[in-house]
Amino acid sequence: MELAMDGPALEAFVAREFPQVAGDFAVEAVGEDLVLRLRVADRHLRPGGTVSGPNMFALADVGIYLAILSRLGPVALAVTTNATIDFMRKPAAERDLVAKVRLLKLGRTLAVGDVLIYSEGETEPVARASMTYALPKT
């Protein structure tokens, strides 16, 4: 598998194109799987002492997007066309979330991927997501 963008290139892309969230995410690994960290801060929490669902969804969505870019290069117009997320356990509010992202299909017009999200240091996932992206015609 050949990579078009590595971790630093992906982070630079996010900083340039999505500066509003750039500081929230850190690319930990790029390869067959992409590993993305959400640096959990107070703004990511909801009442009850847990990370909010929208922030877990964002982690999954950004993770799939970056996994696609890691293979294709900076394709800014790739967009989510379908998303499903299962919230399975309450994530710890005091720990970062770590997403393990795997692309299942990378075609000419669609990309499909799965994401498992973990509270840092835990072995059981807190959420699972499946997403499909539409890829722009090149």
Q: What is the mean pLDDT of residues 124-128?
A: 98
- Could you tell me which residues come within 8 angstroms of residue 117 by beta carbon, excluding any fewer than 6 positions away? 56, 59, 60, 91, 97, 98, 99, 100, 125, 126, 127, 128, 129
The one-letter amino acid at 69: L
pLDDT, one tens digit per residue, over 79-94 is: 999 999 999 999 988 8
Helix then strand then coil, in percent of the chain rounded to 5, is: 25, 40, 35
As a CATH number, domain 7-134 is 3.10.129.10
Please state whether the predicted TM-score (pTM) of the whole model is above 0.75. yes
Domain boundaries, the chain: 7-134
Show Cβ contacts of residue 33 under 8 Å, excluding neighbours closer than 6 positions.
Answer: 100, 101, 102
Gyration radius of the chain's alpha carbons: 14
The model's pLDDT over 8-51, given as tens digits with 9 standing for 90+, comes to 999 999 999 999 988 999 999 999 999 999 999 999 999 888 99
